[in-house]
């Protein structure tokens, strides 16, 4: 399992440089960065991928779920984190796993847990949420556990996770459980401030419609801030299909595809740039929970994060990551141009939205994610083979794209010898830099890429992109 604490420090500091390889011809003046094709990567070879998969499966033996042998102590925390991560990846089926989940989940009733117990319980809830959506058998097995948490747990965080699972499907008793939580609110809201906010977001989100009624066309005409590029990401409401993208430069012009050198006819030059992204959470968690699907709303884009080496190739692929910030998140240079730092109030955030969207709950998700302490959102590639994630088989429309744990992921394809064949991260990086360069005067100093990423759930992402393309060709 990746060392997430080390990875966070590494990526925030932006240490290192992109590895050497064959030049892709994407030189970014003034940024001292060149996007290069990778050399053969040993971790991408078929032999190494099979070894890595076998390493994960080695954790998945019945004896490793024995809580008498592996109690929930600091000495065994790494054991449980490895096991639960492998469980999410490979989704094994045996009675010992069921027994372990049913033994750990009742910790949610305990008023005082150690930090180790809290971390293992949260990861167990995330995996249980994933398995709950897996099949009727698992749903029947886990429903009583979630119902007990909703009824008896004194912790708003665990209640929020349980009620999210019970409300995630067409459960005939869904409203019963929501009402039960509401009757317990006076006691539950005495807990940690962030956990209280999480429960409040959960209940509000369960009460909101899946899609806003407002027309998406208002976003197509909108510019968050003059001179700043905008990457629009349209996703399906349940993230079971690919997200589709469109890009505007700082002048509000749609960015076209780069035409082939031998095909510069007018139609090719007027075709709009777009690549698909995966927005699915590995666990299937809703946007307000950690390791969830990427929240809707506005993100500040500030530059790229180079991969210093291939230590985290499996999680993030070879290429630089697109660096995103939500409101309230420290480290952003200027969430709004001309205004140092982040933004702190909902009113400030709402001014970034089209007028009719300022009261739409869905468009505020990134704001509330930041308010609840979420951070480190990215657009990144994926180095894992798609068969590494067993539950990908349940999402045929996403074939070829891997899930993530909060970010948007782009495709990277390698052959059995570890050679890069094709992928979308280089296209994204090139297009963003091209849009940035189109915004500034030729005499202006070249600066790092800045702008906004706007994530929106729509009924049919492909239809939105196709509509914009057709209108653009006619204009």
386 contacts: CB under 8 Å, gap ≥ 6:
392, 399, 400, 401, 402
CB 400 within 8 A of CB 381: no
Give the pLDDT of residue 27. 41
Distance CA 235, CA 296 (A): 9
Q: What pLDDT score does 266 carry?
A: 42
For 154, phi and psi rounded to 5 degrees? -85, 0
Distance CA 329, CA 378 (A): 13
Nearest Cα neighbor of 305 from 438, 407, 234, 455 is: 407
Q: How many residues does the chain have?
A: 475
Q: Considering only 238-247, 427-436, 465-474, which range has the smallest mean pLDDT?
A: 465-474
Alpha carbons within 13 angstroms on the beta-carbon side of residue 24 total: 25
pLDDT recorded at residue 382: 93
Tell me how far apart the alpha carbons of residues 281 and 43 are, in angstroms, rounded to a whole number. Answer: 23
Radius of gyration, alpha carbons of the chain = 23
- List 450's β-bridge partners, or say none: 302
Q: With a cut of 50, say whether residue 3 has pLDDT above it.
A: no
Mean pLDDT of 60-69: 96
pLDDT in tens, 5-47: 434 433 332 222 222 233 333 444 334 345 678 889 999 999 9
pLDDT of residue 315: 93
- Kindly report which listed range (197-211, 231-245, 286-300, 326-340) carries the lowest average pLDDT score: 197-211
Query: Which tokens belong to 298?
Result: 């506005």
Nearest Cα to 168, choosing from 116, 128, 120, 197? 128
Phi, psi (5° rounding) for residue 246? -140, 150
Per-residue pLDDT tens over the stretch 240-255: 999 999 999 999 999 9
What is the distance between the alpha carbons of residues 362 and 385, in angstroms, rounded to a whole number? 32
Q: Is residue 412 a contact partner of residue 318, using CB atoms and an 8 Å limit?
A: yes
State pTM to two decimals: 0.90
DSSP class of residue 108? G
Distance of CA 370 to the CA centre of its chain: 14
pLDDT at 268 over 80: no
CA dist 370 and 406 (Å) reads: 13
**Cα(471)–Cα(473) distance, integer angstroms:** 6
Confidence of residue 439 (pLDDT cuts 50, 70, 90): low
SS3 call for 272: strand
Closest-CA residue to 247 (of 301, 211, 287) = 301
CB 4, CB 275: distance < 8 Å: no
Say if CB 226 and CB 448 are below 8 A apart. Answer: no
């Amino acid at each position: 399992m990746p060392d997430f604490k080390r990875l966070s420090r590494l990526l925030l500091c932006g240490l290192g440089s992109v590895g050497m390889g064959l030049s892709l011809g994407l030189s970014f003046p003034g940024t001292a960065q060149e996007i290069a094709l990778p050399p053969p990567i040993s971790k991408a070879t078929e032999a190494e991928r099979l070894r890595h998969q076998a390493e994960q499966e080695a954790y998945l033996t019945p004896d490793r779920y024995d809580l008498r042998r592996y109690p929930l102590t600091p000495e065994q925390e790494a054991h449980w984190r490895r096991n639960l991560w492998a469980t999410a990846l490979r989704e094994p089926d045996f009675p010992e796993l069921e027994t372990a989940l049913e033994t750990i989940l009742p910790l949610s009733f305990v008023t005082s847990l150690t930090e180790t117990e809290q971390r293992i319980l949260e990861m167990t809830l995330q995996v249980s949420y994933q398995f709950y959506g897996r099949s009727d058998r698992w749903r029947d097995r886990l429903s009583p556990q979630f119902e007990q948490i909703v009824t008896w747990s004194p912790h708003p965080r665990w209640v929020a996770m349980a009620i999210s699972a019970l409300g995630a499907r067409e459960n005939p008793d869904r409203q019963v459980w929501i009402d039960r939580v509401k009757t317990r609110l006076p006691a539950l809201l005495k807990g940690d401030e962030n956990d209280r906010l999480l429960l409040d977001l959960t209940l509000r989100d369960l009460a909101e419609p899946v899609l806003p009624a407002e027309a998406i066309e208002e976003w197509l005409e909108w510019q968050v801030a003059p001179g700043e590029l905008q990457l629009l990401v349209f996703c399906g409401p349940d993230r079971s299909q690919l997200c589709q993208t469109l890009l505007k430069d700082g002048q509000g012009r749609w960015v076209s595809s780069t035409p082939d050198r031998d095909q510069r006819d007018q139609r090719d030059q007027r075709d709009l740039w777009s690549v698909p992204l995966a927005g699915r959470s590995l666990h299937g968690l809703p946007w307000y929970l950690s390791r969830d699907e990427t929240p809707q709303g506005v993100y500040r884009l500030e530059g790229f994060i180079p991969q210093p080496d291939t230590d985290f190739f499996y999680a993030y692929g070879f290429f630089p990551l697109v660096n995103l910030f939500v409101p309230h998140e420290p480290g952003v240079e200027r969430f709004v141009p001309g205004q140092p730092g982040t933004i702190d109030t909902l009113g400030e955030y709402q001014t970034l939205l089209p007028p009719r969207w300022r009261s739409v709950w869905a468009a505020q998700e990134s704001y509330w994610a930041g308010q609840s302490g979420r951070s480190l959102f990215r657009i990144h590639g994926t180095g894992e083979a798609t068969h590494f994630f067993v539950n990908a088989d349940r999402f045929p429309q996403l074939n070829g794209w891997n899930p993530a744990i909060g970010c948007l992921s782009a495709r990277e394809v390698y052959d059995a010898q570890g050679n890069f064949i094709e992928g979308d991260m280089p296209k994204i990086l090139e297009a963003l830099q091209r849009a940035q360069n189109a915004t500034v005067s030729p005499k202006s100093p070249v600066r790092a890429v800045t702008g906004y990423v706007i994530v929106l759930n729509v009924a049919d992402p492909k239809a939105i992109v196709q509509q914009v393309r057709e209108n653009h060709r006619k204009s």
